[in-house]
Amino acid sequence: MNISKTKPVLLIQLGPLHLFWTTGVYYLWELKDKYDFVLLVSDEYSNSINFDKIIKYLDIKFIYYQKKDKGFKLIKNLYKDYNKIFEKYDPHKILMYNVSFIENQVLLCVCKKKKKNLKIFQYQSSRVASNMVKDREYEVYIQALILTKKFKFLKNFFRTLIYSTKFRNLIKYLYYYKIIPFFVLKKTFKPHFNIYTGKNHVKKSLDLYSKVISKCFVYLECEAKSALSNEVQDLEIINHPLSTSGKFVNKILYGSIEEKNQILILPSSGLFDEELIKNNNFDYLTKFVARQYINFFQIILLKFKNFNIKFKLHPREESTIFWNRVLKLISEKYNNIEFEKSSTNSEQLILESKIIVSDISTVLWWSIFLGNRISISLDIFNFDSGKEMLQYTPDIYYVDNLEDLKKLNLIPNQNIFKEKKSVSDIL
């Protein structure tokens, strides 16, 4: 890592490692000629071979690997370490992946203390969720179902379990955002977005984005509309840096990849958890899911006759009885489908495929910024959140009826090449 003596310092707080590969890595590349970097990352980055590959090309002054601390120790250490970083490296600007998690709140606290007029920018690191409150409610519901599966007698207290899970989340929120900051920092955290409930506080959002955050970067009109509905101010719709820097970054990470006449299937994890935990007719559910995929293959292969199909499960699903049964039923009908190991890199498979098929996975969102891809969201499995990707049409083809698929003229997405500013033009 060669350190420049002339470039200003940009401090970037990057998100979880899996979201670094969808967005963060491309921001680093896009901005590498303008800034020296101080990076704030989680401990998981320290074991990533690909992360080591990328940082060799960057001018980095310091990488802070956040330890897996909890409670008082977490906030105390973050505050102490962030203060030291500011004193030593004196960052010119700040770029953050989020503003609501604990590490984000501590960083904002230090920024306010150190430099009152410091410019802070936020970037979107993943797809937009259409209803975060509903998503969090569903997570609570699934947690309660899992408990009733583990302890049969709790079935009679299901409603109580729901309330107790919500109460536990409330205690976590009060502990991390109010009690610990009060004793350690003599103040409390007031995030506009509650990570436990998914609720957005309008007044807090207005205050944050009018007084603290200089600009928030999104990539599509639908994302800007969603952000505005949550009172996010001063939005800028820019090129996702994948669309401008992906060619260089992806070659470093994944090598030279030849695009193939290939249809890639990437189901999300956990979509059928509710039915499986309830144990509602396992045999019917596996046959139904397999049949829907088979029906889809029959239609898509008529449209793309010389294409092969590759199917990859999420790592959490590879060893499940449910998906093993579904794949067995599919292979009985289509014995030429290639089933990839879940450990295979999804981004690499997407890069080599012309058609990407999933349900509500972020892989669809990522694939549209590559351009020249056909991205298809299948909402044909009767789960509640199946319409999540509808907001991303026409960049993603949303299919909730296979008869309608027969009529669709599927062409590669070109919308992403419309003229927009890049982050390096603004930051």
Per residue in 19-70, pLDDT (tens digit) is 999 999 999 999 999 999 999 999 999 999 999 999 999 999 999 999 999 9
Is 251 inside a domain boundary?
no
Residue 155: per-residue pLDDT = 72
**Pair 177, 214 in one domain:** no
> What would the pLDDT profile of 63-117 be if each residue is shown by its tens digit?
999 999 999 999 999 999 999 999 999 999 999 999 999 999 999 999 998 877 8
Residue pair 66/93 in contact by the 8 Å Cβ criterion: no
Q: What is the pLDDT of residue 187?
A: 95
Residue 109's closest CA among 125, 88, 94?
94
On the 0-12 / 13-18 / 19+ scale of CB atoms within 10 A, 387 is middle
- 273 and 400 part of one domain: yes
pLDDT beyond 60 at 2: no
- 21 Cβ neighbours under 8 A, 6+ residues apart: 50, 253, 347
Q: Are residues 236 and 378 in the same domain?
A: no
157 pLDDT exceeds 90?
no
Q: Is 154's pLDDT higher than 80?
A: no
Q: What is the pLDDT of residue 386?
A: 87
Instruction: Give the tokens for residue 203.
Output: 């007044």
pLDDT digits (tens, 9 = 90+) for 258-282: 999 999 999 998 888 777 766 668 8
Q: Which residue has the tokens 């292969």?
A: 301
Tell me the average pLDDT of the chain.
91
Residue 305 in any domain: the answer is yes
pLDDT band with cut points at 50, 70 and 90 for residue 425: very high
CA distances from 76 to 15, 73, 172, 181, 317 (A): 20, 5, 17, 9, 37
pLDDT of the residue at 417: 66
Residue 38 domain-assigned (yes or no): yes
Token output for 173: 């929120």
Counting every residue written for the chain, the total comes to: 427
**414/86: higher pLDDT:** 86
397: in domain: yes
Judged by phi (left if over 0) then psi (alpha if -120 to 50, else beta), residue 239 lies in beta
Q: Are residues 83 and 162 in the same domain?
A: no
Q: What pLDDT is attached to residue 231?
A: 82
d(CA 251, CA 173): 42
Instruction: For residues 219 and 191, state if they share a domain.
Output: no
Q: Is the pLDDT of residue 4 over 60?
A: no
pLDDT digits (tens, 9 = 90+) for 372-383: 899 999 999 988
Q: Domain range holding 387?
A: 257-417
392 backbone dihedrals φ, ψ, rounded to 5°: -95, 5
Higher-confidence position of 386 and 184? 184
Distance from the first to the final alpha carbon of the chain: 22
121 & 206 share domain? yes
Examine the domain organization and report whether 325 and 411 are in the same domain. yes
Same-domain check for residues 276 and 230: no
Q: Are residues 237 and 273 in the same domain?
A: no
Does residue 369 sit within a domain? yes
Structurally, how many domains does the chain consist of?
3
Helix 321-333 / helix 282-303 crossing angle, nearest 10 deg: 40
Stretch 381-401: mean pLDDT: 92
Query: Radius of gyration (Cα) for the chain, nearest Å?
Result: 23
Indicate if the pLDDT at residue 384 is higher than 90.
no
Q: Considering only residues 243 and 318, tell me which one the structure prediction assigns the higher pLDDT.
A: 243
The percent of residues in the chain predicted with pLDDT above 70, rounded, is: 97
The domain that contains 53 carries what CATH number? 3.40.50.2000
CATH number reported for the structural domain that contains residue 318 in this entry: 3.40.50
Confidence band, pLDDT 50/70/90 cuts, at residue 1: low
pLDDT-derived band at 159 (thresholds 50, 70, 90) equals confident
